[in-house]
Amino acid sequence: MRVYLDNCCYNRPFDTPNGDTIIFEAKAKMSIQLLVTSKKITLAYSFTLLEEIYNNPFKYKKEQILSFLSNAKVYIGIDKRPQIDMKATEFMKNGIKYMDSAHISAAIIAQCDFFITTDKKLLNYKSDKIEIVNPIDFIRMWENENA
């Protein structure tokens, strides 16, 4: 199983835990990390994600996220930008912003089974090319399939 997490998902554990959803999503994201580090699922990422991470003004968060990405097995490099932009155009027609569209496109190019995000607008979008889920739902599905 191959997954791609977007930038908001990576940052969820650093968010102020001022609600149950944030707390549960942060814990689920950390469970996903454990699945990656234990090689139960494969992590993919892209140059688009790296651009966002490098723009993070918080050094500690940036270092933690970049360190975790060393566990990824699939990287979609800038050489794939034309393909990403072509696919992203399709998603943008549905009101999805460019960066979010680029992430979904990179995940599809990486042949991911799941695109994991905490972005409510993205979670409302349905794609026939990839399953878009939040971390909590992903962990529920994982547990049901691996019980």
- Tens digits of per-residue pLDDT, 100-140? 999 999 999 999 999 999 999 899 988 899 999 999 999 99
Give the pLDDT score at 80: 97
What CATH number is given to the structural domain containing 71?
A: 3.40.50.1010
> Does the pLDDT at position 147 exceed 90?
no
Q: Which residues form the domain of 71?
A: 2-145
**CA-CA distance, 121 to 124, in Å (whole number)?**
5
Residues 6+ away with beta carbon under 8 Å from 74: 2, 42, 43, 44, 45, 110, 111, 112
Query: What residues does 78 pair with on adjacent strands?
Result: none
The number of C-alpha atoms within 13 Å of 99 and in the hemisphere containing its C-beta is: 14
**Global pTM?**
0.95
Cα separation, 29 vs 3, in Å, equals 12
